[in-house]
Amino acid sequence: MAVNILMPALSPTMEKGNLAKWLKKEGDTVKSGDVLAEIETDKATMEVEAVDEGILAKIIVPAGTNDVMVNEVIAIIAAEGENVSAPAAATKAPAAPAATPAVTPAASAAAPVPVTAAVPASAPRNDARVFASPLAKRLAKEAGLDLSGLTGSGPHGRVVERDVRQAIAGGVAPKASASSSSAPQTAAVSQATAMATGPSDAATKAMFAAGSYDEIPHDGMRKTIARRLTEARQTIPQFYLTVDCEIDALLKLREQVNAASPKDKEGKPLWKVSVNDMVIKALACALMRVPDANVTWTEGAMLKHHHADVGVAVALPGNGLITPILRKAETMPLSAIALGMKDFAARAKSRKLKPEEYQGGTTAVSNLGMFGIKDFTAVINPPHATILAVGGGEQRPVVKNGALAIATVMSITLSCDHRAVDGALGAQLISEIKTIIEHPMSMLV
């Protein structure tokens, strides 16, 4: 019996992906566990395994196809000799508009492929009902837009937030009002929404002379970064706390720790601890000392975590960033943190991080000190309640025992989600971070 292979959901938020390439061709024998194809999402490239045996009878979606919706039939596995001309008991999703291929980090983790019949990509709609997400409905209501006139780009033709925002930016006419007296109010709401989303692409391009710029399409990662951080700014009430830390003792301890590193056959140290590694450890230890700040906000409850899972922002070649997570960082020795970050950085840049290695976490560190940045504020990345921005260490004049002296000072800024971490609690947390950084031997005990 023929079995449909569907476009898998490789993460909870995935709606569509790019079918990068097929690793099997039509007519090939397929065994359970064989890798069939590579799927690109906004964050990773994943290998898709077969969970059934037979012949790859038909490839529905060719390699290089972009924006393939989740649950769309991409291929059919059948018994040898079985005649297959169409997906079994499934309706193929309508083709999505072409998009520029995403430049994303990859992961080699295999994801199970559902083998049940695909859900029809579009269902007959009742004229009185529009299939749309709650956020899309709210935005449309505020802007006075008629959702029935929009074409959805979400799963199974569902209207999602981006469809509404594109309609607003493109100047789609609002729905007719039942009362002419409400027209000015509707226009005001629409104008306010348009201001919140910014001018349309056409209006922005009109501000610049033709030929004075190059147009570089956004890749999947850049779109995701823009969407998530815009949502973070709009939905998270953030406040910021900055302190200066004297790091001479930390630098001295780092030197001693690195001198104790075992050597390989060529005499090179097996690990080298960085200042950032020690900041990660300090943040993790501080969260254990201030457990009320080691939390995640949800509408129904506060999630108080047992361990400090610290994400660390890693810049990717060309464009974008990713935040791999050191799980239970408070339990890791400095050498393990150094080795873990070295591994994460290498695999992130070679596109081999797994989704579980960069999703979740309780807090994060963003360090721009190596670029000569003195201090800055970082945007919280949900579901985190905090993020620590780290500047570069530099020699500054300080007062010690009433006398002027020189010390190596590093500025750190803690961004806090005020829903989960109040001002006093945030101040307590950053004070603990400062104490640990300035008395770094506590990281070793």
DSSP string, 256-303: HHHHT--B-TTS-BS----HHHHHHHHHHHHHHHSGGGSEEE-SS-EE
CA atoms of 388 and 361, how far apart (whole Å): 13
Burial of 297 (0-12, 13-18, 19+ CB in 10 A): middle
Is there a contact between 364 and 313 (Cβ–Cβ < 8 Å)? Answer: yes
Which single residue is written with the structure tokens 């290089």?
64
Parallel, antiparallel, or unpaired: how do β-strands 110-111 and 45-49 relate?
parallel
Q: Please, what is the angle between helix 423-438 and helix 275-289, to 10°? A: 130
Catalytic center residues: 418
CA atoms of 261 and 273, how far apart (whole Å): 9
- DSSP structural state of residue 41: -
For CA atoms 185, 191, 135, 156, give the dihedral sign: positive
Which single residue is written with the structure tokens 């806090």?
416
**What are the φ and ψ backbone dihedral angles of 6, each rounded to 5 degrees?**
-100, 155
Closest C-alpha to 12, from 120, 111, 135, 132: 111
CA atoms of 153 and 282, how far apart (whole Å): 44
CA atoms of 286 and 280, how far apart (whole Å): 10
Tokens of 74: 């991409």
Is there a contact between 393 and 247 (Cβ–Cβ < 8 Å)? Answer: yes
- DSSP structural state of residue 152: P
- DSSP structural state of residue 178: S
Closest C-alpha to 19, from 40, 45, 43, 50: 40
CA atoms of 324 and 361, how far apart (whole Å): 9
Is there a contact between 430 and 414 (Cβ–Cβ < 8 Å)? Answer: yes
Residue 227 one-letter amino acid: R
